[in-house]
Amino acid sequence: MLALLCVVAVGGLAAVVASGNGSNPTVTTAKAEGTAASGAGAPSADAARAADAPGGSQAEQQVAATSGPSTTQGTAAPGASSVSVAAVGDTVMGTPEFGLPPAGGSTLFNAVRPLLKGDVVFGNLESALATGPSAKCGSGSGGSCYAFASPPSYARNLKNAGFTVMSIANNHSNDWGPAGIRSTVRALDAVGILHTGRPGEIAVQTLPNGTKVAVVGLAPYAWSQNSLDIPGAQRLVRRAAGVAPIVIASFHGGAEGTPYRNVPQGAETYLGEPRGETRRLARGLVDAGADLVIGHGPHVMRGMEFRGGRLIAYSLGNFLGYKVFGTASYSGQSGVLKVTMAPDGRFESGSLAPVRLSGDGVPSPGGSSIRDVAALSRADFGKSAARISPSGAITPP
């Protein structure tokens, strides 16, 4: 079920840095004078203030807001080892209008939980975690307006599945308005999952060996770090590279559905809404210092390429959409991207584990995504295309 979201302008371009440790990330606060408060690995700030981005006050979010580039340089920790990443695409755990899953959604990830293993486990949370009437659709969708929100308690399902960081930069995170974003942030904070995607927001996960990994999220909307502003996106990546030696950038962009499996040249639109120049954006993020770029939003898998030795996955498709996504044909093919990077962010190895969605949108291993993504990569990117073997192994050209 593909939806168009009306854009609502939201103020607040504060740079937000959240940091956490290992598989149980927490969030720490920087003091106003720029020195770190309690908590290991808190980044310094030139000037800290309460974040004015959707998501609430500094007290609610426990985040450090920086008004300028960090003075900390992102260098690998002494004795740092390789970093493993598992990443998936669009994730919706159900919404009341279309039906919530049994057992509070606790079994939704059961079949794919063994695939969600890594130092960093990333997903795109394409719904609010909120209750009450939608700010977008009111009491109901009426067949033309789609709004997604799972109960805030469902954040525990993400935690139990293994996720360490979620992007909330997408066209459904604001379905319940700024209050819904605040509710989503509180729910993720409560279970120790980092979040990224609000204007200026950088999630920083500190691994047990001291290695920091920064994650930024972008989407073509006012309530997110706006991907239509490519220079602004690059500045955020450079700032992230100043606080961590490894930077992961995710973006929600591109037109939706099977007709849009290929990555076009130039700008993309969908139902009249600008969805960004995905090639120029992704490559620009790498040029600015991103070590891995993860795309989502088209609701289908797209191809992959390498730029400067860094992997770009243009869309990981639908990963979970309980009774909200169409799952016929390519919309039901998904995957878990696994990447291992050197302590300085260089690509070491990668693989794609195929996943398919049931009629209700619940994932399980299997499907044709390896073959599909390999063919799309060759067709769209030629010499720069990622090489994907029949087993799913990913290697540079």
**182-210 tens-digit pLDDT:** 999 999 999 999 999 999 999 999 999 99
Mean confidence (pLDDT) of the chain = 84
What is the pLDDT averaged over residues 143-158?
A: 91
Query: 19 — phi, psi (to 5°)?
Result: -125, 150
* Position 8 in a domain: no
Total domain count for the chain? 1
β-strand pairing of 212-218 with 246-252: parallel
pLDDT at 75: 76
Torsion of CA 306, 307, 311, 312, to 10 degrees: -90
Q: How confident is the model at residue 13 (pLDDT cuts 50, 70, 90)?
A: very low
* Position 10 in a domain: no
What is the pLDDT averaged over residues 94-101?
A: 94
pTM of the entire structure?
0.85
Q: How confident is the model at residue 211 (pLDDT cuts 50, 70, 90)?
A: very high
CB 249 within 8 A of CB 294: yes
Q: Which one of 38-52, 63-77, 140-154 scores highest in mean pLDDT?
A: 140-154
β-strand pairing of 194-196 with 165-167: parallel
* Position 170 in a domain: yes
Query: 131 — phi, psi (to 5°)?
Result: -130, 170
CB 41 within 8 A of CB 21: yes
Task: Please compute, for residue 68, the number of CA atoms within 13 A of its CA located in the half-sphere on the CB side.
Answer: 4
Q: What is the CATH number of the domain that holds 174?
A: 3.60.21.10
Residues 344-397 pLDDT 10s: 999 999 999 999 999 999 999 999 999 999 999 999 999 999 999 999 999 999
Distance CA 365, CA 157 (A): 19
* Position 172 in a domain: yes
Distance CA 395, CA 385 (A): 9
Distance CA 99, CA 80 (A): 45
CB 314 within 8 A of CB 264: no
Indicate if the pLDDT at residue 44 is higher than 90.
Answer: no
Which domain does 102 fall in, by range?
15-395
Indicate if the pLDDT at residue 7 is higher than 80.
Answer: no
* Position 73 in a domain: yes
Q: How confident is the model at residue 132 (pLDDT cuts 50, 70, 90)?
A: confident
78: nearest Cα among 270, 204, 189, 209:
209
CB 302 within 8 A of CB 376: yes
